[in-house]
Amino acid sequence: MAHLRSIGTAVPDTVLLQSEVLSIIEAGRGMPMPGRMQAILVNTGIEQRRIARPVDFYMRPRSWPERAATYEEVGKDLFCRAAGKALDDAGLVPAEIDTIVFISTTGTLTPSLPSRMVELMGFDQDTRTVPLFGYGCAGGVLGLSVAADLTPPGKTTLFVAMELCSLAYDHQRMDKKDVVAAALFADGCAAAVVTGEGVGPRFGRFVQRVWPDSIDMMGWEIGDTGFDLVLAKNIPAFVAQEFAPLCDAYLADEGLTLDALAEPACHPGGGRVVDALADYFAPASAPVEERLPATRAVLREYGNMSSPTVLFVLDRLMAQRQAKPLLLTALGPGFTGAIGVLRP
């Protein structure tokens, strides 16, 4: 049974305050935003985020090569910092890693980013690299599950989730979905050390559900200069109607009840999504804005970084040394739901 040994996180240096976003978007549009679109910024639950480049970078046209160069440069830095912290906290050096599982949906490189990091960070030349693409916001939970599955007794895996969501900002178009992207999404990286035996929470069963007729709810379209966001507006309702029953079935199969769990680590898609998750995981336990405090704190301080975000939440919860099973949840393109449990 695999164990979660440590987590490390890293974010870019540029801070984007939510109070500044309206004026930035209006400058990009060249006109004031309608009131109904301004409301999107108010309801995010975000105070600040980190982005890969200074704001001026996003206010001019950017080619595919320029976005790809930023993805490689900033991605290497974030990978190195997050992985380095996770390894240090686990008392390991890169040469002791057997497998690197890497997940990212906001850019792509060939050779892959983990392959480029082998020599740069000093991993053994025989280290297996497993790059994954396309899971989006569900990638933190699903990628961690893959890492655990690839870690038998006596082996050690490094899992890294890195996203530069800001590369999808489009200053020229700024229709509603672009405003949503500019209001919610951010950049960051998280790494986790998974061992086949030893100390740390034990991995339980992880499950994935892909719902029919939902492929258009979330994803990318290929635009002229990069990825363009596809995002449905009804995800909070989907949590109550479809994801909650999946959670019910999972908990029943695992012999768990909500009151027997620690605070869950949920991917915070946005303020209304977190409210919907809180209604399921902590119904009427407190005012809705006070439920799922770790999930809300990460959303407030970092925004939605896509795949690494749930690991930022998990890092906070693990620091509290949980004595109960801890659930991990995420929703992403597919439309996909992911659930897993870590047991003390």
Is residue 24 within a helix (H) or strand (E), and if so which, with residue range?
helix 18-29
CA 185 – CA 130 distance, rounded (Å): 25
CA 297 – CA 154 distance, rounded (Å): 36
Residue 179 has pLDDT above 80, yes or no: no
CA 243 – CA 248 distance, rounded (Å): 9
CA 267 – CA 223 distance, rounded (Å): 27
Domain ranges of the chain: 3-195, 202-343
pLDDT tens-digit series, residues 135-150 = 999 999 999 999 999 9
Position with higher pLDDT, 176 vs 56: 56
Per CATH, 3-195 and 202-343 having the same topology is answered yes
pTM of the predicted structure, to 2 decimals: 0.94
What fold does the segment set 3-195 form as a domain?
Answer: Peroxisomal Thiolase; Chain A, domain 1 (3.40.47)
| DSSP class of 28 | H
The CATH code for residues 202-343 is 3.40.47.10
Mean pLDDT, to the nearest integer, of 47-57? 94
